[in-house]
Amino acid sequence: MTKTKWTWCRNIFEGKKYVEEYRVQDVESELGMSRDKLIQLALLLGSDYTEGVAGIGIVNAVEIVNAFPTEELLVNFRCLSWPVCLLR
């Protein structure tokens, strides 16, 4: 089975004279972070699709992502982002 090679770009529709290209294999080797961990960071810090968790900066976000497995962090994301967590 072949592993998918993800690539994403920035500044495509901006007036800049260049486009930034990021390859997941480069990010994994340089930062030691998988695609799943990058998605977790985006959830914690905020992105185009989520507001993030108030009070969590890059250092804390990396520590949280490294401390919890993917499923566990995503399941408990609501508890991190809401002042009151309603347990199932």
Orientation angle between helical segments 58-67 and 35-45, nearest 10 degrees: 130
CATH class of 7-81: mainly alpha
Distance of CA 43 to CAs 2, 16, 40, 48, 75, Å? 27, 27, 5, 10, 12
Predicted pLDDT of residue 42: 85
What's phi and psi for 36, nearest 5 deg?
A: -60, -40
Instruction: Please report the pLDDT score of residue 66 as a whole number.
Output: 85
Chain centroid, CA 40 distance in Å: 4
Q: Where are the domains of the chain?
A: 7-81
Regions of the chain with pLDDT less than 70 = 1-4, 69-71, 73-88
Single out the residue of 64, 24, 72 nearest to residue 44, CA to CA: 64
Report field, pTM of the whole predicted structure over 0.85: no
